[in-house]
Chains A and B, each alone.
Chain A
Amino acid sequence: MLALKIAWRNIFRHRGKSLVIGSILALGALLLTLGNSVISGMEKGLEKSVVESFTGDIILVSQDQIDDNVILDMAGKPLEDIFRYDTIKPYLENSGLFTGFVPAGKDFVMALNEHGGTPGFAFLLGINFADWQKVFPDNLELLQGQWPQSTGLIIPSGSLEILYTTMGTWFSPPHSELDSSFMPKDAKENYGNLRVQNDIVFMGHSATNTATDIRMTVDAVVKYKALNVIWGHFILTDINSYRQSMGYFNQDEEQEEISAENLALLSFDSDNLDALFGNDMDFEEMFSQESVSPEKEEFVPKTEEAGVYQMIFTRIKPEINRQAAMDSLNRLFAQEDIPLRPLTWQTASGVIGSMSILIKASLNVFVAFLFFVAIIIIVNTLSMAALERTSEIGMMRAVGARKGFIARMFMLETGVLAFVFGNLGVLLGFIVVLVIRSLNITTDNDMLQLFFGGDTFNPTFGLADLLLTYAQLAAVTILAALYPINIARKITPLDAISRE
């Protein structure tokens, strides 16, 4: 093809310009490859460290639950209750959608400060340990203490740090040596004089608007293997202790079992409580905003699973598309009149969802900026090239070459450069990605963890990313060539002749 032949030879004839454009394209392709790999690695990583660690694929909440942000919302109302899980469970089992699911109670609790300082706050997740571990196997690492059996308290290091910062108390399992390796800096510095406690008093809001509380011994300190900075906010306890602390009934009990100690604490009236907390916050109001469902007070469950929960974590079978699962669940709940609502993990984990969107957006802004700079430089260089070749182009036009031929020639020249140097850049980018992966870069920083999509920086570059990068490169090339090509098209034979 004539235009290709001329374009190809012009690349070598104008080596300098070709190299400038080629280098920009190669650099652009390299950075695009990296950017796309980081974005894609982040997405895959987040999914792994969010879905497999904590949220599951789809979270089921009560039909009455209005706010979707059910996992990390600190300020919102308590979650609506799910009743009679025991009657719902068979439907979920028969749906054929899940590899596993586990119900949980989840609420915001206050940790009373028995030393008269500020109280601490945490999320309390009430679960059946064994069932939960089946759905989220191997997501915890034991740092200190012992795994509890059916009842007990598991505190992640992240929560220890938060509680220490607000309360000034370090919680530690009994009969085990203090371990400073997961302590925050000032706790480490204060190691000898740390105020250490083996048990912790939680106060939840109760169904009857009376604060109830429960004293629990710390069994284990753990670390979430992925995104500990986020999931570390969730203290784990067995569902019965959870219900007790929240003032729900457990099975086989007419009355909450309240220990002598707890009774002592309960006897504070509200003025004394304020004095105890040592500040002006109105905790009673804060903890009494919940709407009280009448059933809740009256209902005394016969089995553990008949009691109250707030959410059900589910893992979808890998071969089933998440959206399809959402649709089936919506249909199932409507058909069988089950008062549940499914939420995708992205919707349910609002903060993470929006943070990852934010990070992704900044990466995309970076990519767009790259686009912009690359296009400007290429437009400039190509326009100069077109003008420099005015005589040559005008002569071709005089001899009978149409505008389209000139345009094709330029497009091919840019296209060949983009193909060769673009692939070079992609290849280099891919090598950089492989190097980064082999370095196994890890971080404890929470922002970086979101950026990494987990603890480890694992950019990935698959076929989809390759195609995306090619599409972006093609867009850069076409956009950058449009203006110079138009300049070249407009060159007339007269422009060439008048130069003589």
Chain B
Amino acid sequence: MNIVAIEALTKDYSLDSTTVHALRGVDLNIKSGELLSVMGPSGSGKTTLLNIIGCVDTPTSGKVEVAGTDIGSLKDKELTDLRLRKIGFIFQTFNLIPVLNTLENVEFPLLLMKEQSATDIRRKAKDLLHAVGLGDHLHHRPAELSGGQRQRVAIARALVTEPALVLADEPTANLDSATGASILDLMVQMNQSLGTTFLFSTHDPDVQKYAQRIVKIHDGLIQDD
């Protein structure tokens, strides 16, 4: 089953009088349970592609289906709900709400959903934090955590809603290589244990050994799948 189905996707940005063609006709299908890496040099269109798949940006043309929903026709509220329920995000930096502690940050999306009891939510968040190795940092605020620990919290938060797809745009770009490796290891581990679909981008060729499938992107076009 395809979690993501993209056909002839283009994205143009108009900058002053010129138009930047960030994506120039991308076709891509992502199957459930895949761990896929989008690789390409800086400016090749990785972020643009992930933003559109993550429903935070809209295509210029083409068809994008995420978890069975065509996102082209959705309004802001529907896009927001789709992000909440079907997608987990891991950003490069600024992943967490500064005034909430580790546990509360992980609980955040479930509290927005308002579907489970407070105790269920708490238990789930705790379990996930133990799984990502932060069982003894439950009550730390983000400012008290290292960069790697914050990314682990972000992974736990992305997974807590049991999303169809977790998106990570260069998740290790701001980490040293050892920490970065451990984060990628964790993603692989979560992909295997939970079966969650992961899509991450990177410009670092060394990272490809973590991915099952690598999609190379260059100048807004997919070169190699």
| Contact between chains at A391 and B94 (CB < 8 Å) | yes
What residues on B are CB-neighbors of A2 within 8 Å? 108, 111-112
Interface presence of A357 (CB below 8 A): no
| Contact between chains at B76 and A403 (CB < 8 Å) | yes
Other-chain contact of A400, B85, B96, B104, B169 (Cβ < 8 Å): B85
| Contact between chains at B85 and A497 (CB < 8 Å) | no
| Contact between chains at A402 and B77 (CB < 8 Å) | yes
Interface presence of B138 (CB below 8 A): no
A13-B99, A399-B157, A402-B80 as given contacts; A496 in contact with B94, CB under 8 Å: yes
A13-B99, A392-B97, A496-B94 as given contacts; A399 in contact with B54, CB under 8 Å: no
| Contact between chains at A398 and B83 (CB < 8 Å) | yes
A497-B47, A497-B91 as given contacts; A398 in contact with B97, CB under 8 Å: no
Least CB distance from A296 to B in Å reads 82
| Contact between chains at A500 and B94 (CB < 8 Å) | yes
| Contact between chains at A400 and B112 (CB < 8 Å) | yes
A398-B89, A399-B157, A400-B84 as given contacts; A392 in contact with B94, CB under 8 Å: yes
A2-B108, A400-B109 as given contacts; A493 in contact with B85, CB under 8 Å: no
Q: Which of A65-95 contact B (CB under 8 A)?
A: none
Main secondary structure of the interface of A (DSSP, over half): helix
What is the CA–CA distance of A466 and B96 in the complex, to the nearest angstrom? 42
Interface presence of A195 (CB below 8 A): no
| Contact between chains at A395 and B95 (CB < 8 Å) | yes
What residues on B are CB-neighbors of A13 within 8 Å? 98-99
| Contact between chains at A494 and B83 (CB < 8 Å) | no
What residues on A are CB-neighbors of B57 within 8 Å? 494
Interface presence of A9 (CB below 8 A): yes
| Contact between chains at A399 and B84 (CB < 8 Å) | yes
Interface presence of A492 (CB below 8 A): yes
Most buried by A among B56, B83, B111: B56
Least CB distance from B88 to A in Å reads 8
What residues on B are CB-neighbors of A392 within 8 Å? 94, 97-98
Other-chain contact of B99, A6, A492, A497 (Cβ < 8 Å): A6
Interface presence of B61 (CB below 8 A): no
Interface presence of B51 (CB below 8 A): yes
What residues on A are CB-neighbors of B7 within 8 Å? none
What is the CA–CA distance of A392 and B97 in the complex, to the nearest angstrom? 6
| Contact between chains at A492 and B91 (CB < 8 Å) | no
What residues on A are CB-neighbors of B161 within 8 Å? 400
A399-B157, A400-B85, A400-B112 as given contacts; A6 in contact with B97, CB under 8 Å: yes
Q: Which of B202-221 contact A (CB under 8 A)?
A: none
What is the CA–CA distance of A496 and B83 in the complex, to the nearest angstrom? 15
What is the CA–CA distance of A493 and B47 in the complex, to the nearest angstrom? 13
What residues on A are CB-neighbors of B99 within 8 Å? 6, 9-10, 13
| Contact between chains at A6 and B100 (CB < 8 Å) | yes
| Contact between chains at B81 and A500 (CB < 8 Å) | no
By beta carbon, the residue of chain A nearest B113 is: A400
What is the CA–CA distance of A13 and B142 in the complex, to the nearest angstrom? 13
What residues on A are CB-neighbors of B2 within 8 Å? none
Interface presence of A243 (CB below 8 A): no
By beta carbon, the residue of chain A nearest B108 is: A399
| Contact between chains at B80 and A400 (CB < 8 Å) | yes
What residues on A are CB-neighbors of B92 within 8 Å? 500
Q: How large is the interface on A (under 10, 10 to 19, 20 to 34, 35 or more residues)?
A: 20 to 34
What is the CA–CA distance of A121 and B169 in the complex, to the nearest angstrom? 93
What residues on B are CB-neighbors of A496 within 8 Å? 91, 94
What residues on A are CB-neighbors of B76 within 8 Å? 403
Interface presence of A384 (CB below 8 A): no
Least CB distance from B89 to A in Å reads 5
What residues on B are CB-neighbors of A396 within 8 Å? 97, 108
| Contact between chains at A500 and B91 (CB < 8 Å) | yes
What is the CA–CA distance of A494 and B169 in the complex, to the nearest angstrom? 13
What is the CA–CA distance of A403 and B112 in the complex, to the nearest angstrom? 12
| Contact between chains at B83 and A395 (CB < 8 Å) | no
A400-B80, A497-B51 as given contacts; A492 in contact with B56, CB under 8 Å: yes
Least CB distance from A381 to B in Å reads 18
What is the CA–CA distance of A6 and B97 in the complex, to the nearest angstrom? 9
Least CB distance from A87 to B in Å reads 78
Interface presence of B93 (CB below 8 A): yes
What is the CA–CA distance of A399 and B112 in the complex, to the nearest angstrom? 9
What residues on B are CB-neighbors of A395 within 8 Å? 89, 91, 94-97
Q: Which of B106-122 contact A (CB under 8 A)?
A: 108-109, 111-113
Q: Which of A455-497 contact B (CB under 8 A)?
A: 492-494, 496-497
A399-B157, A402-B77 as given contacts; A500 in contact with B93, CB under 8 Å: yes
Interface presence of A283 (CB below 8 A): no
What residues on B are CB-neighbors of A494 within 8 Å? 51, 56-57
What residues on A are CB-neighbors of B91 within 8 Å? 395, 398, 496-497, 500
A2-B112, A6-B100, A494-B57 as given contacts; A401 in contact with B94, CB under 8 Å: no
Q: Which of A1-52 contact B (CB under 8 A)?
A: 2, 5-6, 9-10, 13
What is the CA–CA distance of A366 and B54 in the complex, to the nearest angstrom? 52
What is the CA–CA distance of A494 and B50 in the complex, to the nearest angstrom? 11
By beta carbon, the residue of chain B nearest A393 is: B97
What residues on B are CB-neighbors of A402 within 8 Å? 77, 80-81, 112
Q: Which of B10-43 contact A (CB under 8 A)?
A: none
By beta carbon, the residue of chain B nearest A492 is: B56
By beta carbon, the residue of chain A nearest B105 is: A399
What residues on B are CB-neighbors of A403 within 8 Å? 76-77, 80
What is the CA–CA distance of A499 and B96 in the complex, to the nearest angstrom? 15
Interface presence of A205 (CB below 8 A): no
Least CB distance from A490 to B in Å reads 10
Most buried by B among A5, A401, A499: A401
What residues on A are CB-neighbors of B84 within 8 Å? 399-401
Q: Can you give 28 A-B contacts (C-beta < 8 A)?
A: A2-B112, A5-B100, A5-B104, A13-B99, A391-B94, A392-B97, A395-B91, A396-B97, A396-B108, A398-B54, A398-B83, A398-B91, A399-B83, A399-B84, A399-B108, A400-B80, A400-B109, A400-B113, A401-B84, A402-B81, A402-B112, A493-B56, A493-B83, A496-B94, A497-B51, A500-B92, A500-B93, A500-B94
What 4 pairs between A and B have smallest CB-CB spacing?
A400-B84, A9-B99, A493-B56, A391-B94
Question: Which residues in B have some Cβ–Cβ distance to A below 8 Å?
Answer: 47, 51, 54, 56-57, 76-77, 80-81, 83-85, 89, 91-100, 104, 108-109, 111-113, 157, 161, 169
Question: Which residues in A have some Cβ–Cβ distance to B below 8 Å?
Answer: 2, 5-6, 9-10, 13, 391-392, 395-403, 405, 492-494, 496-497, 499-500
Known: A9-B100, A399-B83, A400-B109. 4 other contacts (CB 8 A): A398-B54, A403-B77, A494-B56, A496-B91
